[in-house]
A and B are shown apart, each in its own frame.
Chain A
Amino acid sequence: MEFFIGLWEALPDGLQTVIWILLKIIAIILPLMICVAYYTYAERKVIGYMQVRVGPNRVGPKGWLQPIADAVKLMFKEIIIPSNANKALFLIAPAITLGPALAAWAVFPFDEELVLADINAGLLYILALTSVGVYGVIIAGWASNSKYAFLGAMRSAAQIVAYEIAMGFALVGVLVAAGSLNLGDIVRAQSGNGGLFSWFWLPLLPLFGVYVISGVAETNRAPFDVAEGESEIVAGFHIDYSGMAFAAFFLAEYANMILIAALSAIMFMGGWLSPFQGWPILGPLFDWVPGFVWLVLKTGLFAFLFLWLRATFPRYRYDQIMRLGWKVFIPITIVWIAVVGLAVVYQLPWWFD
Chain B
Amino acid sequence: MIYAKRRKRMSTQEHNAPIDLESGKYVKIWQGPQHPGITGNMALELVLNGDEVVDCKTHVGYLHRGFEKLMERRTFIQNFPIVCRIAVPEPTFNEYLYAAAVEELAGIESPQRAQWLRTLNLELMRLASYLMWLGGIGASFGQATIYQWTVTHRDYVLDLFEEMTGARVYHMYIVPGGVRAGLPEGFEDRARAVLDGVERLLNEIEKVLFKNVVFKARAKGLGIISKEMVDPYGIVGPNARAAGFTRDLRRDEPYLVYDQLDFDVVTGTESDAYARAKVRHQEMREGIRMMRQILEQMPTDGPFQAKMPNVLHWEVPAGETYVKAECTRGEYGYYLVTDGSQYLRRVHVRGPSYTHAIAVMEKLAVGTNIADIAGLMVSLHTYPPEIER
Query: B138: which A residues are within 8 A, CB to CB?
Result: 314
Q: Contacts A314-B218, A316-B214, A328-B2 hold; do A52 and B148 have CB atoms under 8 A apart?
A: yes
A-B contacts, 20 of them at CB < 8 A, read A47-B145, A50-B145, A51-B148, A51-B149, A52-B148, A148-B29, A151-B27, A151-B29, A223-B214, A231-B37, A231-B139, A232-B37, A311-B145, A312-B145, A314-B209, A314-B214, A314-B215, A315-B371, A317-B369, A324-B2
* Shortest Cβ gap from B77 to chain A (Å): 41
Could you mark each residue 43-70 of chain A with 1 if its beta carbon is under 8 Å from any beta carbon of chain B, else 0? 0000100111100000000000000000
Q: Do residues B371 and A314 form an inter-chain contact, with CB atoms below 8 A?
A: no
Q: Do residues A315 and B3 form an inter-chain contact, with CB atoms below 8 A?
A: no
Q: Does B51 reach chain A (CB closer than 8 Å)?
A: yes
Query: A233: which B residues are within 8 A, CB to CB?
Result: 370
Query: B373: which A residues are within 8 A, CB to CB?
Result: 232
Query: B212: which A residues are within 8 A, CB to CB?
Result: 312-314
Query: B375: which A residues are within 8 A, CB to CB?
Result: 231
Question: Once bound together, how far apart are the Cα atoms of A315 and B139, in whole Å?
Answer: 9
Q: Contacts A147-B27, A232-B374 hold; do A315 and B35 have CB atoms under 8 A apart?
A: no
Q: Does B140 reach chain A (CB closer than 8 Å)?
A: yes
Chain B's closest residue to A327 (CB) is B2
Q: Does B217 reach chain A (CB closer than 8 Å)?
A: yes
Query: B145: which A residues are within 8 A, CB to CB?
Result: 47, 50-51, 311-312
Q: Contacts A314-B214, A317-B372 hold; do A230 and B27 have CB atoms under 8 A apart?
A: no
Q: Does A338 reach chain B (CB closer than 8 Å)?
A: no
Question: Once bound together, how far apart are the Cα atoms of A315 and B372, in whole Å?
Answer: 10
Query: B149: which A residues are within 8 A, CB to CB?
Result: 51-52
* Shortest Cβ gap from A62 to chain B (Å): 20
Interface centre among B3, B214, B375 (most CB of A within 10 A): B214
Query: A304: which B residues are within 8 A, CB to CB?
Result: none
Extra pairs beyond A312-B143, A328-B2 (16, CB < 8 Å): A50-B145, A52-B149, A147-B29, A148-B29, A151-B29, A222-B142, A223-B214, A225-B142, A230-B37, A231-B37, A232-B37, A312-B145, A312-B208, A313-B142, A315-B141, A315-B214
* Shortest Cβ gap from A231 to chain B (Å): 4
Q: Which residues in window 200-237 of A have CB below 8 A to B?
A: 222-223, 225-226, 229-234
Question: Once bound together, how far apart are the Cα atoms of A331 and B208, in whole Å?
Answer: 29
* Shortest Cβ gap from A322 to chain B (Å): 10
Q: Do residues B370 and A232 form an inter-chain contact, with CB atoms below 8 A?
A: yes
Question: Once bound together, how far apart are the Cα atoms of A222 and B3, in whole Å?
Answer: 18
* Shortest Cβ gap from B137 to chain A (Å): 10
* Shortest Cβ gap from B294 to chain A (Å): 28
Q: Which residues in window 4-18 of A have CB below 8 A to B?
A: none
Query: A231: which B residues are within 8 A, CB to CB?
Result: 36-37, 139-142, 374-375
9 nearest CB pairs, A to B: A315-B142, A51-B148, A231-B37, A314-B143, A314-B141, A231-B374, A232-B371, A314-B142, A314-B214
Q: Does A353 reach chain B (CB closer than 8 Å)?
A: no
Query: A326: which B residues are within 8 A, CB to CB?
Result: none
Q: Does B152 reach chain A (CB closer than 8 Å)?
A: yes
Query: A50: which B residues are within 8 A, CB to CB?
Result: 145
Query: B142: which A residues are within 8 A, CB to CB?
Result: 222-223, 225, 229-231, 313-315
Q: Do residues B36 and A234 form an inter-chain contact, with CB atoms below 8 A?
A: yes
Q: Do residues B141 and A318 form an inter-chain contact, with CB atoms below 8 A?
A: no
* Shortest Cβ gap from B142 to chain A (Å): 3
**What residues of chain B have their CB less than 8 Å away from a CB belonging to chain A?**
2-3, 27, 29, 35-37, 51, 138-145, 148-149, 152, 208-209, 212, 214-215, 217-218, 369-375
Query: B209: which A residues are within 8 A, CB to CB?
Result: 314
Q: Does A113 reach chain B (CB closer than 8 Å)?
A: no
A-B contact count (CB 8 A): 86
Interface footprint category on A: 20 to 34
**What residues of chain A have their CB less than 8 Å away from a CB belonging to chain B?**
47, 50-53, 147-148, 151, 222-223, 225-226, 229-234, 311-320, 324, 328
Task: Identify A317's interface contact among B27, B143, B371, CB under 8 A.
Answer: B371
Chain B's closest residue to A313 (CB) is B214
Question: Once bound together, how far apart are the Cα atoms of A52 and B151, in whole Å?
Answer: 11
Question: Once bound together, how far apart are the Cα atoms of A317 and B148, in whole Å?
Answer: 22
* Shortest Cβ gap from A48 to chain B (Å): 9
Interface centre among B3, B145, B149 (most CB of A within 10 A): B145
Chain A's closest residue to B148 (CB) is A51
Query: A234: which B residues are within 8 A, CB to CB?
Result: 35-36
Query: B214: which A residues are within 8 A, CB to CB?
Result: 223, 313-316
Interface centre among B142, B148, B214 (most CB of A within 10 A): B142
Question: Once bound together, how far apart are the Cα atoms of A318 and B375, in whole Å?
Answer: 14
Question: Once bound together, how far apart are the Cα atoms of A50 and B148, in whole Å?
Answer: 9
* Shortest Cβ gap from A185 to chain B (Å): 36
Question: Once bound together, how far apart are the Cα atoms of A313 and B142, in whole Å?
Answer: 8
Task: Identify A151's interface contact among B2, B139, B148, B370, CB under 8 A.
Answer: B370
Q: Do residues A317 and B36 form an inter-chain contact, with CB atoms below 8 A?
A: no
Question: Once bound together, how far apart are the Cα atoms of A348 and B142, in whole Å?
Answer: 45
Q: Contacts A231-B139, A231-B142, A232-B374 hold; do A317 and B29 have CB atoms under 8 A apart?
A: no
Question: Once bound together, how far apart are the Cα atoms of A223 and B217, in whole Å?
Answer: 13
Chain A's closest residue to B216 (CB) is A314
* Shortest Cβ gap from A210 to chain B (Å): 14
Question: Once bound together, how far apart are the Cα atoms of A311 and B148, in whole Å?
Answer: 11
* Shortest Cβ gap from A89 to chain B (Å): 20
Question: Once bound together, how far apart are the Cα atoms of A312 and B371, in whole Å?
Answer: 19
Question: Once bound together, how far apart are the Cα atoms of A52 and B150, in whole Å?
Answer: 10
* Shortest Cβ gap from A341 to chain B (Å): 26
* Shortest Cβ gap from B86 to chain A (Å): 26
Question: Once bound together, how far apart are the Cα atoms of A192 and B327, in whole Å?
Answer: 67
Question: Once bound together, how far apart are the Cα atoms of A75 and B27, in whole Å?
Answer: 35
Question: Once bound together, how far apart are the Cα atoms of A233 and B29, in whole Å?
Answer: 10
